[in-house]
Amino acid sequence: MRTFKASEFKAKCLKIMDEVAATGEPVLITKNGVPVAELVPARRKPRAIFGSMKGSVTYMGDIISPIDVAWEAEVD
């Protein structure tokens, strides 16, 4: 874990935040050699299970009407 002094973090804040977001590696911020904060990447909320597959299936034609072919299971 990389460590930054508070004054150094203040000067390079946006760049450090971009690096943490890109790499996922947390950063420790110190003040007078004492850890005061830790910058970690934000966690994204997982999508809800219900409706998560919406729009991912494509069907062509009528899927409800019976077909004109007899199945082997229907033949006596």
User: Domain-by-domain residue ranges, the chain?
Assistant: 1-42
For 9-51, write each residue's pLDDT tens digit.
Answer: 999 999 999 999 999 999 999 999 999 999 999 987 766 788 7
Residue 7 pLDDT class (50, 70, 90 cuts): very high
Q: How far apart are the first and last CA of the chain?
A: 73
Please state the rounded mean pLDDT for residues 1-11: 95
Q: What pLDDT score does 38 carry?
A: 96
Among the listed residues 11, 6, 2, 13, the one whose alpha carbon sits nearest the alpha carbon of residue 32: 6
C-alpha–C-alpha distance, residues 75 and 2, integer Å: 72
Check pLDDT > 90 for residue 2.
yes
For 48-75, write each residue's pLDDT tens digit.
Answer: 788 777 888 887 777 777 777 777 776 6
Other Cβ atoms less than 10 A from the Cβ of 45: the count is: 6
C-alpha–C-alpha distance, residues 37 and 31, integer Å: 9
What is the fold, at CATH topology level, of the domain defined by 1-42? YefM-like fold (3.40.1620)
C-alpha–C-alpha distance, residues 72 and 76, integer Å: 9
Q: What pLDDT score does 31 carry?
A: 96
